[in-house]
């Protein structure tokens, strides 16, 4: 048999060459014996024939031994080539699969039980080589490394939580002070500036809540009654900077259950923030709310440049994966990650696509029926009659204004009305007795 050499030229098998050489020697010995049989006398012919026969046997034995050694050497080389190939494959598997799996579990604090094992057996790669690779895996997943990574993650989360709680408390106090100031302001220009400061405080509150959610701390559920999806979007609109660009359509007849209101509102606010930041400031952001077969959808369309496929894939990963605080990067973007955590907590779904009718990005929030409900009926004491008899209207006495509530009709003629703002904690309302006294 012949094979190709490193230079590309055909190269014969060493075993084949040895066999040819042995048979050549045997033929030469046989030819010499024949020649001697013809040219020498009978006595010498017998001695020479015996010697030639012994030489042939000896040479044949030597050739067989040589062939066996060459075959063993060839098998050994083939085995070494197989081992080298198996070792190379195993090292590549260690670098591409096993080490990243260990690092990912260390970062997320999970156990190392599910880490992929070696591809080849120790018999295929060699016992010593297999032990060396196992020592690398053991060193990476040692208790010391696990505790070090867990301590780092816990310290980062504790720092985030401390900052978030401090921001939340400061923003809450600031809003309370601004509410008190608003009640005593009569200058319209000053009122407008105070409301701007109050809106800035609401931005700080939302950022603090986002950090708390990323730390696994859920804000208190403040709502006790169902809230329409329209009001959820409007509430989310009030939490972003460019709230004036939002256009809301539909959702007045679809109501969210009280425990889901805060999560829906917070997630919608983060999606609206992304839509306004990554689209021209002169373009609107259109929000459409409608009912579908399995629940309701909230579609948010912007007029930006859209997302390249790799950026869209990364954004979807932030929505679906549980982003670890230690992997936020130098410029963390927490909005989508926060919406993703809310979706897993409450059970709704958020998707992103480049199919916006305005050429930008479309965010679709699907709210299943189990997060929707019917609106609660208004209490009978607060209902007004559909049609009041004329005689009752004529007998109605003027209602005395409540303390602290100005009535423009009772003020001086021609006095301009000041803009009134309702507090988020609820302004004073007429009591049931006051309504009936009317």
- The per-residue pLDDT string of the chain (438 residues; one tens digit each, 9 = 90 and over) reads 444 444 445 555 555 565 566 566 666 666 666 665 556 566 666 776 677 777 777 777 877 888 888 888 888 888 888 888 887 888 887 777 777 777 776 666 666 666 676 767 776 777 778 777 777 777 766 656 666 767 777 787 788 788 888 888 888 888 888 888 888 888 888 888 888 888 888 888 888 888 888 888 887 777 889 999 999 999 999 899 999 999 999 999 999 999 999 999 999 999 999 999 999 999 999 999 999 999 999 999 999 988 888 888 888 888 887 766 666 655 567 889 899 999 999 999 999 998 888 889 999 999 999 999 998 776 655 555 544 444 444 444 444 444 443 344 334 333 334 334 444 434 333 333 333 333
Question: What pLDDT score was predicted for residue 249?
Answer: 96
352 phi and psi, to 5 degrees? -120, 145
Is residue 423 assigned to a domain? no
Spatial separation of the C-alpha atoms in residues 302 and 285, rounded to whole Å? 5
Three-state SS for 290? strand
Question: What pLDDT score was predicted for residue 401?
Answer: 43
Same domain, 90 and 25: yes
Spatial separation of the C-alpha atoms in residues 178 and 198, rounded to whole Å? 6
Three-state SS for 372? strand
Which letter, b or e, does each residue of 220-240 get, where b requires 16 or more Cβ atoms within 10 Å of its Cβ?
eeebeebbbbbbbbbbbbebb
Spatial separation of the C-alpha atoms in residues 119 and 202, rounded to whole Å? 55
Spatial separation of the C-alpha atoms in residues 235 and 59, rounded to whole Å? 102
Is residue 414 assigned to a domain? no
Question: What pLDDT score was predicted for residue 183?
Answer: 85
Number of domains forming the structure of the chain: 3
Question: What pLDDT score was predicted for residue 378?
Answer: 64
Same domain, 123 and 152: no
Same domain, 230 and 169: no
Same domain, 272 and 364: yes
Is residue 406 assigned to a domain? no
pLDDT tens column, 235-269: 999 899 999 999 999 999 999 999 999 999 999 99
CATH number of the domain that 256 lies in?
3.30.565.10
Question: What pLDDT score was predicted for residue 202?
Answer: 84
Query: CA angle at residue 161 from 157 to 163, to 5 degrees?
Result: 120
Same domain, 308 and 363: yes
Give me 96's structure tokens: 């591409």
Same domain, 173 and 284: no
Range of the domain at 303: 219-324+332-377
* Positive or negative torsion for Cα 253, 259, 265, 270: negative
Same domain, 82 and 163: no
Within its chain, how far is the Cα of 84 from the centroid?
38
Question: What pLDDT score was predicted for residue 187?
Answer: 86
Is residue 167 assigned to a domain? yes
The reported pTM is: 0.57
Question: What pLDDT score was predicted for residue 365?
Answer: 97
Question: What pLDDT score was predicted for residue 254?
Answer: 96
Spatial separation of the C-alpha atoms in residues 296 and 59, rounded to whole Å? 94
Same domain, 121 and 71: yes
Residue that finishes a domain, picked among 141, 170, 186: 141
Give me 408's structure tokens: 């423009």
Is residue 418 assigned to a domain? no
Same domain, 223 and 305: yes
Q: What sections of 7-120 are H helices per DSSP?
A: 14-39, 42-93, 99-108
């Amino acid at each position: 048999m012949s094979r190709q050499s490193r230079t590309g030229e055909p190269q014969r098998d060493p075993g084949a060459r040895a066999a040819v050489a042995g048979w050549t020697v045997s033929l030469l010995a046989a030819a010499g014996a024949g020649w001697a049989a013809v040219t020498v006398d009978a006595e010498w012919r017998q001695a020479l024939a015996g010697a030639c026969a012994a030489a042939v046997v000896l040479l044949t034995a030597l050739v067989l031994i040589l062939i066996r050694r060459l075959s063993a050497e060839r098998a050994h080389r083939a085995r070494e080539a197989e081992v080298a190939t198996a070792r190379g494959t195993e090292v590549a598997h260690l670098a591409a699969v096993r080490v990243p799996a260990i690092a990912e579990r260390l970062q997320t604090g999970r156990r190392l039980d599910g880490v992929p094992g070696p591809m080849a057996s120790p018999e295929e790669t060699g016992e010593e080589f297999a032990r060396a690779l196992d020592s690398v895996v053991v060193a990476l997943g040692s208790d010391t490394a696990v505790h070090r990574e867990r301590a780092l993650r816990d310290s980062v989360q504790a720092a985030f939580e401390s900052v978030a709680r401090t921001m939340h408390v400061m923003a809450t106090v600031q809003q309370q002070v601004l509410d008190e100031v608003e009640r005593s302001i009569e200058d319209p220009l000053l009122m407008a500036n105070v409301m701007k400061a109050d809106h800035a405080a609401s931005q700080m509150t939302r950022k603090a809540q986002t950090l708390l959610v990323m730390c696994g701390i859920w804000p208190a559920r403040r709502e006790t009654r169902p809230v329409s999806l329209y009001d959820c979007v409007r509430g989310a609109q009030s939490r972003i900077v460019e709230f004036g660009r939002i256009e809301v359509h539909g959702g007045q007849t679809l109501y969210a259950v009280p425990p889901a209101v805060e999560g829906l509102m917070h997630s919608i606010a983060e999606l609206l923030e992304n839509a306004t930041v990554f689209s021209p400031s002169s373009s609107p952001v259109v929000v459409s709310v409608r009912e579908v077969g399995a629940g309701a959808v909230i579609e948010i369309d912007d007029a930006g440049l859209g997302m390249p496929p790799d950026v869209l894939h990364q954004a979807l990963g932030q929505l679906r994966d549980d982003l670890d605080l230690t992997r936020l990067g130098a410029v963390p973007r927490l909005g989508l990650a926060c919406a993703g955590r809310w979706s897993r907590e409450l059970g709704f779904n958020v998707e992103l696509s480049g199919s916006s009718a305005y050429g930008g990005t479309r965010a679709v929030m699907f709210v299943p029926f189990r997060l929707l409900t019917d609106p609660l009926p208004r209490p009978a004491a607060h209902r007004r009659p559909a049609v009041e008899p004329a005689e009752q209207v004529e007998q109605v006495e003027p209602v005395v204004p409540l303390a602290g509530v100005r009535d423009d009709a009772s003020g001086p003629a021609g006095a301009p009305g000041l803009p009134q703002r309702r507090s988020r904690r609820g302004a004073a309302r007429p009591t049931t007795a006051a309504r009936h006294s009317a």
